[in-house]
Structure 1
């Protein structure tokens, strides 16, 4: 580890880095940071940097306050958008207690522990997210209609389009930070875009998602635009999802791949999907953590509303994409439920835990659904054993609260804070009188 410390200190000197931002997330996935000078780097690596955790959502209990940030030297990157002169760099941090133990409330710690449990079975999780977001001309103001930057649609090539210029700039910034992008394109909604990151191990991918969201917002502001990862910002247009391709590797080989099997999918892969399906109502509050998330799931615009899997079925919660028979590494499952506003550390942790429960419990995979599930009648879905996802945050929290799997995966402190915080969000939402209510009932009663 000291070698990595020395490498970071050398890069700081060679690249004229004047500020190092230590990044970490709260339980909701909101990025937090503190800046230190190069003179404090050695202390940060050996002792950690002290912070007052009592002001961070869910980071400490009421009787605790002091916490430490210890930067991960493998995540050192210069922030491309800040320029080369008097440069600023960032490192992702682990949050520690004053005695140097991992903080129970650190979302990055939650994912590390889930990955460690899988590694004891010889399995390593890799992920490839497809991250959607909207670009608007200005910030939201009450009473004003949102104005997307364009009226383009899926895969549209907009000549001299702002979105095209935006994606190019965002990708240049990401790749300057060694975050590899596979695809980018315009999505279905006006002003909606998608950037897909290349496969990486789950912890690196979670760090990269946090960084991507920051890069997207910074580049948008530099171009006079506003970016949002809100799951469903406009009623009449699609929401923003984060379809995520998942694979387990064992000894360098894809544990989901079996030559000659249907879809090239091994028994391990089928059990993993079965776990994702059986525990979906339990983890839905994590992968879809906002009141607004359920407007996307039940918005009838290609977001999954029901617990099922399929191959060509894009209404399914889990899809088994086409794979190249000669390329075993391409066997994977696509989880389509998460939205772009999830906390990626917690989301990957609960998805992995659900899939591992399927493997360890040898769950049987139910029959796949190749019909568009939205178009089936309620009776048809019931006869096929297809259950709905929670229809709102309140119902999602009810199922989450009763889940032993979620409590074990998140740990007592994260589990209790998440539940309390999200119940407060639901109660605040329930108290609102909306424009819809006023428009539909004010003059009729």
Structure 2
């Protein structure tokens, strides 16, 4: 992903980017002349920002740039992704990037030949929150949305962000880019870069790029589908593929805490033909949680469709690796595929009823904390803080009166 710029001396300013637990990009800007010193000594920040939506006490941490991620971000300005360390030089356990790096080293499936890809969807809205167009899938219509999509693709490609396609999605004003990445860490970095670049370009045009799971009523949600790409010509002729899918399905409910981490996420799940509602897999069905297909160049794709565009890509990919590894270690058996939606077939006609995915964030948190096998793959401090952060989101929402409630109950009984 890096352009091998060799240093940041050519930049007047460099933005040091890091990610909090909720997946929000944070940044500190330093003069380009101070970049070498930042590389050797780091830059001190208040680490409580990493705690996401529920900050506690201030914690002094040190940002250290990863020079392989250095990219230009404007005229005489650059950006670089950073890792966080404590005063003694130890990786900070609440750093999502560190959590993913740890998962890569502790799982066998990520060690040799693992490739990843992702589909990232978002809505482009005007300041009044209306979509920029009224188009749908693969629209050829020209307008400000299509022009911005083209500009987004051009900038991503110019920065060596691996991009295989960009197109209009199903909803009015909804778009998608297809990203590739050779390693789990590179894929997560790519997703974070893409989200910030898309947001910056929209802001410059006076528009809003939103990665909410479902920002508009009656319209499709926005997913962040993660593909694990493994060598193979026949998706049905691989024990490893079966084990990975089995591992994902067995931890499907707990994975929702990572892939669907907001109150709004559950406005997407269980809604529409392309949003999963149960822990099923298929070859073609877009309602399945996991879809298995053959890709070009002798690769098999295991596509996880349970995460939305608001999720933290580092934690989603780390959790998928952990769940996949449990399937390999336990030699889990794969249930039969379900090529139709559960709602369309009916549970009575399914040989083994699949697990229903959580219907709320609170339920997903409880599923995560009850999944000892998945939780044990992470640092206890990260899981504890992450679950507290999500629960704080639940509690904050419980005192809020929505427009739906007013419309339904305001007139009296």
TM-score above 0.5, yes or no: yes
Deviates most, 435-444 or 64-73: 435-444
Higher mean displacement: 215-224 or 183-192: 215-224
- Distance in 2 between the 1:337 and 1:121 partners? 20
Alpha-carbon distance between aligned partners in 1 of 2:373 and 2:72, rounded to the nearest angstrom:
38
Q: Distance in 2 between matches of 1:53 and 1:322?
A: 43
- Contact 1:264–1:331 (8 Å) recurs in 2: no
Q: Is residue 244–residue 336 contact of structure 1 (8 Å, CA) maintained in 2? A: yes
Kept after mapping to 2: 8 A contact 1:118/1:124: no
- Residue 143 of structure 1 corresponds to none
Q: Equivalent residue for 1:348?
A: 317
CA–CA separation in structure 1 for the residues paired with 2:154 and 2:49: 35
Give the TM-score taking structure 2 as reference length: 0.94
Determine if the alignment matches structure 1 residue 147 to structure 2 residue 130. yes
Distance in 2 (alpha carbons) for counterparts of 1:104 and 1:200: 25
Partner residue of 1:305? 277
TM superposition shift of 1:131: 0.6
Task: Give a deviation string over 1:308-328, Cα, whole Å, max 9, x none.
Answer: 10101111100012345xx42
Q: Report if the CA contact (8 A) 1:349-1:409 is conserved.
A: no
* SS state at 1:388 partner: coil
Alignment of 1:271-350 (within 5 A): 271-324=243-296, 327-328=297-298, 330-350=299-319
Q: Following superposition of structure 1 onto structure 2, how do residues 124-143 of structure 1 map, counting pairs within 5 Å? A: 124-138=113-127
Alignment of 1:43 with 2:11, yes or no, is: no
Decide whether aligned partners of structure 1 residues 235 and 62 sit closer, same or farther in structure 2, where only a CA change above 3 A counts.
Answer: closer
In structure 2, the residue matched to 1:232 is 214
5+ long unaligned stretches in structure 1: 140-145, 249-253
Paired residues of 1:288 and 1:342 also in contact (CA < 8 A): yes
Task: Tell me which structure has the larger Cα radius of gyration.
Answer: 1
Alignment of 1:6-21 (within 5 A): 8-9=6-7, 12-13=8-9, 16-21=10-15
- Measure the CA separation in 1 of the matches of 2:50 and 2:246: 36
Counterpart of 2:24 (choices 30, 35, 38) is: 30
Note the residue ranges of structure 2 that are not aligned, 5 or more in a row: none
Aligned CA distance change for structure 1 residues 40 and 105 (closer, same or farther; 3 Å): same
2:175 is the counterpart of 1:181: no
Determine the C-alpha separation between the residues in 2 that align with 1:234 and 1:70: 39
* Per-residue deviation, 1:221: 1.5
| Corresponding position of 1:247 | 229
- 3-state SS of paired residue (1:22): strand
**TM alignment of 1:190-269, pairs within 5 A:** 190-248=172-230, 254=231, 257=232, 261=234, 263-269=235-241
Match for residue 90 of structure 1? 79
Equivalent residue, structure 1, for 2:332? 363
Tell me which residue corresponds to 1:399. Answer: 367
- 1:54 is aligned to 48
Match of 1:251 in 2: none
Q: Over aligned residues, Cα RMSD in angstroms? A: 2.1
Q: Is the 8 A contact 2:282 2:290 kept in 1?
A: yes
Q: Aligned partners of 1:93, 1:171: CA distance in 2, in Å?
A: 24
DSSP-derived class of the 2:195 partner: helix
1:131-163 Cα shifts (integer Å, max 9, x gaps): 100011115xxxxxx3110000111110x3222
C-alpha distance 120-309 of structure 1, shift in aligned 2 (>3 A): closer
Secondary structure in 2 aligned to 1:387? coil
Query: Which deviates further from its counterpart, 404-413 or 352-361?
Result: 404-413
Residue aligning to 1:435? 403
CA distance in 2, matches of 1:177, 1:365: 40
Report the alpha carbon displacement of residue 387 of structure 1 after superposing the two structures with TM: 1.6
Contact 2:20–2:49 (8 Å) recurs in 1: no
**What is the CA distance between 1:107 and its match in structure 2?**
0.3
1-structure distance, mates of 2:343, 2:293: 20
Task: Please state how far the C-alpha of 1:122 moved relative to its aligned partner.
Answer: 4.1
Q: Deviations over 1:2-54 (max 9, x none)?
A: xx9x9633xx34xx311111110010011111111233222211221111223
Native 8 Å contact 1:264 1:323 kept in 2: no
Q: In 2, Cα distance between the equivalents of 1:216 and 1:58?
A: 21
